[in-house]
Structure 1
């Protein structure tokens, strides 16, 4: 009996140890999980999501690189995008400014309407590296019928470190916020109430 209990105990301890190792690995890789590897391919349109200065410049770079003929800027009233728009040299035609979206989920919904309206069937979505996982999740939900081919390209945010997401307060907060938002989106939570809740959590934690 003693030998049998000892064997069970060893198995239990080994199992707990493995779970702790897996948990530590998941925490360590948390930043990489958010920053999905880009897979951009030649497309008719480039979609730039608002939210951080630098995304529009990246979008214009991708626009030139892949020879797209449409540039869609979502939530073009966002103050980050407004400053970049003031300084940017935009293509002479085929620029569409979407101004109604107030969340990533709404970005996808309004862009879907705009692409259908203009007969666009392929696009590269450009956003910050830390935003890639959630953006891809929500866009692929919205475009789940497969009528539009989406690929993705990321702007490497200077505020976020995927390898050491805990290395600064800003990077830590970005990572925490993205996981909270991702969990909320999986649960169908979106909109103003979700943003208010997130602000309260940030104030309490950070």
Structure 2
């Protein structure tokens, strides 16, 4: 039988190096997974912001779901808009794109609505709504949106209003079908999308791309 030289020390070094690389990659994977899960749970646990409504100059609806208009209409009827108006951003006029709950069916007249037709995301909802507030001399607003959407709404409006003397109250409209987001399959799916959208907003990507088409 032929004898082959065997360098035990070199073999152990090679094995140790391979093991170290494997363990390093495994540790990186575990850390990234752990951080991702922690961020996801944090976002999901803090989606809904629901403050007590206070009479304000105007009510703002970042559109994207029928429950938002319904809640805004209730607040309007209860006298929470000092101007007697709401801002709808965006207000769609194409019959094929109308929301499930048109504002006319909620008892609102054209004069009740200040319409923005340009917004395509939550960030632009905030920009155009604030522009309408300033144009009309309003300093305070109730912002109404779906429960799963509220955290990103607040982030957007507070950031867009930096340096401006504006005050916002954030009131939740609940989730799909009038139920909390966690109680419906659609609500849970929309909440999962919010994880990625929220991280995108934290990274400032809203400045370059629309994250959350239609404000939803």
Map of 1:16 onto structure 2: none
Give runs of aligned pairs for residues 4-15 of structure 1, distance below 5 A: none
Change in 2 beyond 3 A, CA 1:55/1:168: closer
Q: TM-score, normalised by structure 2?
A: 0.68
Query: What is the Cα deviation at residue 146 of structure 1?
Result: 4.0
Residue 59 of structure 2 is aligned to residue 46 of structure 1: yes
1:102 touches 1:191 (CA, 8 Å); kept in 2?
no
Q: TM-score, normalised by structure 1?
A: 0.71
User: Who is 1:173 aligned against?
Assistant: 189
What's the RMSD between the two structures over aligned residues?
Answer: 3.1
Structure 2 distance, partners of 1:94, 1:107, is 18
Distance 1:83 1:189, change over 3 A: same
**Contact preservation (8 Å) 2:144, 2:171:** yes
Partner deviation per Cα, 1:63-96 (whole Å, 9 max, x = no partner) = 1223411211111118454742242211573421
Unpaired runs of at least 5, structure 2:
1-33
Deviations 1:12-56 (A, max 9, x none): xxxxxxxx9xx9898667544101232421101000111111211
- Which runs of 5 or more structure 1 residues have no equivalent in the other structure? 1-19, 199-206
**Structure 2 counterpart of 1:71:** 86
Alpha carbons of structure 1 residues 38 and 80: separation in structure 2 relative to 1, 3 Å: farther
| Aligned counterparts of 1:45 and 1:86: Cα–Cα separation in 2 | 18
Larger Rg: 2
Give, in angstroms, the shift of residue 183 of structure 1.
0.4
Please report how far the alpha carbon of residue 99 of structure 1 lies from its aligned counterpart in structure 2 after TM superposition. 0.7
Quote the Cα distance in structure 2 between the aligned partners of 1:52 and 1:141. 23
The number of residue pairs the alignment matches comes to: 174
